[in-house]
Amino acid sequence: MEQVNLTVGNLSQRRNAIESQWNRFVTGSPFAKSNSIREDIMSSWQRSAQHIPPRQVYAPLDDEYSTLHRWKESQLCLAAQREQEQMMQLASEGELVAAIADPQGRLLWTFSSRHMRSRAESVHFTAGGRWDEASVGTNAVGLALKLRRSVTVFSSEHYMPFVHDWVCYAAPITHPQSGEVVGVLDMSTTWNRHTPLGQAAVTELARAIGRCLPQNLPRAELEIHALGQPRILFRGKPLNLPMRQVEILCLLALNPQGLTLEGFHAALYGDLPVSTTTLKAELSHLRRLLDGKIGSRPYRLQMPVWADFIQVWQALRRQQGTTAFSLYRGSFLPQSVSPELEEWRHCIDAVMGRALESCQDPHVLMEKLCHSTSGSELVRERLAELMTT
């Protein structure tokens, strides 16, 4: 832990020691015997080295207009309103830049003091800047998301040299009921202004923002429930869609890399005598409903998406039966005759059946039986087997 009384001289010594170890790391030289590099920083350096060379001069930057729109539509914007004045005052008085990022590490809102404004702008520590670990290596925003806890990243602990003059304090903004990390609060300044009180202040502000989040928080901008009774939510509000458009959204969720018009047509209609013009019309209608968030050439979703069938499949593959049972509400779009969706339905049902057969916990089965809307007969049979053995 840092000493409470940190002089510039002490900070300079620490900065030089870390800089020396960073140079050794990026050049592949053996480390000197030293306790100057924390384990979480070293692990982050190693992950960063797999993604990017330390030669960038600023973070990737998304479009300012779309970022502003995303911020205004986010639950974080509403939750942070009560704390923004205090954050701006702290930033001004402490010569800081304050920022709030989404769960992907994209900065949605920032406020800079005069001391930090030009520094922040030069490295894209501004709204739209992408500060996840894969984009810029070790930094406080990315590390807080990775570790799901408050962090301080000092000077050359950053992987990229363009922020070696910074010290950054970050804390995840966590939903108090679900425990979901919905964003990150960060406050940063120059290394010679470092104080151990910075992390504590940021942690408390992040908790205050979390307490203002709505109780029922959307899982993503687009939420697809297609196991059992289909249900679509866009920005937390239900969309009443016909089955064909639900199928289209499911195919887009299953193909994040995108689909060509011909590939989309084959996946959705198979050999049915339906023209590509009809598919284009369906996609255009959906695009209007989703505020233009469907791209073309190839067709793809341009927003965060959560889908229950994808979550169930991932849980089954990781052998997390309890998680899969909690999400499973019935077969995946049982009325659909889309070739690709039919194949996914058979796969999910088959693997879910095997997971059910191997389940040894009557409590899990009873919980599933109490909340199931379909497939209850299989659960009853398995529960009866356990009770008679």
Q: What is the pLDDT of residue 375?
A: 46
d(CA 271, CA 269): 6
pLDDT in tens, 94-152: 999 999 999 999 999 999 999 999 999 999 999 999 999 999 999 999 999 999 999 99
Which helix (H) or strand (E) element contains residue 375? none
Q: What is the pLDDT of residue 4?
A: 39
Q: What is the pLDDT of residue 225?
A: 95
Q: What is the pLDDT of residue 371?
A: 44
Flag whether pLDDT at 373 surpasses 70: no
Q: Please give the CATH number for the structural domain made up of 8-211.
A: 3.30.450.40
pLDDT in tens, 208-265: 999 999 877 778 889 999 998 899 999 888 999 999 999 999 999 999 999 999 999 9
| Amino acid in the structure at residue 295 | G
Q: What is the pLDDT of residue 327?
A: 79
d(CA 220, CA 197): 33
Burial of 300: CB neighbours in 10 Å, binned 0-12, 13-18, 19+: middle
**Tokens matching residue 315:** 């849980």
**Sheet-wide strand order for 231-234:** 237-239, 231-234, 222-225, 305-307
pLDDT band per the 50, 70, 90 thresholds, residue 359? low
Q: What is the pLDDT of residue 360?
A: 47
Candidates 1.20.1440.230, 2.30.30.110, 3.40.50.170, 1.10.10.10; CATH matching 222-388? 1.10.10.10
Q: What is the pLDDT of residue 1?
A: 32
Averaged pLDDT score across all residues of the chain: 87
Who wins on pLDDT, 23 or 53?
Answer: 23
Give the domain ranges of the chain.
8-211, 222-388
| Amino acid in the structure at residue 177 | Q
Flag whether pLDDT at 376 surpasses 60: no
Q: What is the pLDDT of residue 264?
A: 97
Flag whether pLDDT at 45 surpasses 50: yes
Per CATH, 8-211 and 222-388 having the same topology is answered: no
The label of the residue with tokens 């709505």 reads 214
pLDDT in tens, 315-347: 888 877 777 877 788 889 999 999 999 999 999
pLDDT in tens, 198-223: 999 999 999 999 999 987 777 888 99
Closest Cα to residue 387, out of 368, 356, 366? 366
Contact 212, 358 (CB under 8 A): no
Contact 309, 226 (CB under 8 A): yes
| Amino acid in the structure at residue 86 | Q
Closest Cα to residue 136, out of 50, 26, 58? 58
d(CA 41, CA 155): 12
Phi, psi of 270 (to 5 degrees): 60, -125
